[in-house]
Chains A and B, each alone.
Chain A
């Protein structure tokens, strides 16, 4: 009871710590805003839909890319046939980035929102960076 003031101070610190996400969100403004994705499709024939339905791509794209990498690099298996019977080359830069051409308004939006730092770009080059040097696109 002599220590009640100290205990109350400790409790207050505890409550403040637990509520840190609240302070953070209140200070940062709207936390509910969903990242807005932009697909810059360049009217590639037959490419009106992704290689998997969007509902599956959203949670599973990293698995698919990982599998593609292993199959392409290790077994030389280069062709992917999707649920509609279309055939694609298993390639991030040649297939995915054809439609999703802009990394910063497509890939990065969600990855930044979720604080995910994929290591794709440790090896792959972002096309825009090549464009400046007379490369692809």
Chain B
């Protein structure tokens, strides 16, 4: 049945078609515009992310190198070992600052009066004295000799060295005056100033001097705090997740628990800090600034996260597994502990790592329980005063000295590195071990 194709005849149909075709161009333009806005949204978010990360990198990359100044140090026996004991233990009491001052005076013989000299002596970090002491104690034969030694420069000089453009600043904006600038240039011309690796950053705790401050103390503080968090949080969260998902009867009480958990997950973190302050510190008199209290507060905060992810991964195990075990005569409890939990372990672990990485980045509640103190010692136990990585970053940011800015950014780089590692492990665990049902 071959028939002729029809021609559209009806009036309102063709009228509509005409109307629609006329408006089409405009509609397609608005379509393109809307799509562009979508791309713009994502683009903005991505640009924000890139800006944040790159600004941190730009600010922080300098912190991994320090400035060193080369001086000829005369290891004067009169100063180091006035009693001529030759016993290295005696060297501890010597005033090594004098050695440095003498070397500076020799380098810049034109500096005569005390006031000008004070400007010169700020060039060398006080940490250099410790280094000289160590050197003398380890090499007794050096006593009485002169030797060219690279000494750690002070933070001010370090900032000038890292920002050459500052030479052109006005004197009052520059941190150092014109005479100091000329000394700096003299050192530079003679090749007696150089960059070296900043070993203090990864091996020291906090300090008032930027060039001597390091991240190790707060890294250990974070470690101890997270250890407590993990030990408290993981068993409790898994137990509670298992109970709520697998064993709990459906009644008002379990509903109430559930509402509580969902809300706790959204309670501002600082509220947990207030809880810790009011109960752990003021009622129970637990030690201030201690990782154990910090860990307890963070455990309460992380609990809902891990409970929720535990429940999600338990839910992913198909009911057939439970039915099979119960069909063989196992109790519900045995079915869950022997079969369901092992199957959902990768998911639980992934959730735990993500919860821990949240806890690692958290700082507000810890401010409340005093983990914000200036702590020079590296903590060695759960009850020592300590601070954690993000709080250290906050502390450095709040410090006025110019040299701390790059330390702050470098501290952030360390923190982000840990977070990247933890999250990669979580992704790895998920992809490697998680079963698809």
**Are A and B co-members of a single complex?**
no
